[in-house]
Amino acid sequence: MPSIFYQASVPVFIRTLKSLDAFFDKGVRHAEAAKFDVAVLLNARLYPDMHPFSRQIKIATDTATGVAARLAGQEPPTLGHDEVSVDAVKARIAAAIAYLETLDAGSLEGAEEKTIEITRQDKTVTWVGRDYLFNYGLPNLYFHVTTAYALLRHNGVPVGKRDFLGG
């Protein structure tokens, strides 16, 4: 049986990104049925100073793959697909899921006690693996996926809790 730590990370990231992919598909179909440009959704914001939908996807996928990679002692993958289009968003989510599916329970063995250092701009933050996952990784992923969901819902896409939670 895989460790609880693995079960609380990689499979959760995969499931969450698959749900994100599915409710994004619903948004695309909604835009097509309502005959409006899907770019409206890709560029939607809840408030002018917030990131648009496409950036929420980028951050969610970078968070899931980056956290998992660091816990596995690997460099985070470069997902590419920075273009703002339906195909690019779909490719980014698919690439993130594909990377996560390469990780098995053994790759995270002992990760809960691993020291994780992240330098962004001029600041270095040090985490213990357990805290990195539970106090940063999962909350950050859920924040950006929830925001993407809210952006679609705000724009009339008929998504609900089941869409968010996935199958």
CB atoms within 10 A of CB 30: 18
Burial of 92 (0-12, 13-18, 19+ CB in 10 A): buried
- The predicted structure's pLDDT at residue 120: 84
Which pLDDT score, from 0 to 100, does residue 62 have? 96
Number of helices (H), then strands (E), in the chain:
8, 2
pTM of the model: 0.94
Better-predicted residue by pLDDT, 147 or 81: 147
Q: What is the mean pLDDT of residues 6-10?
A: 95
Go through the domains of the chain in sequence order and give each one's CATH number: 4-165 (1.20.120.450)
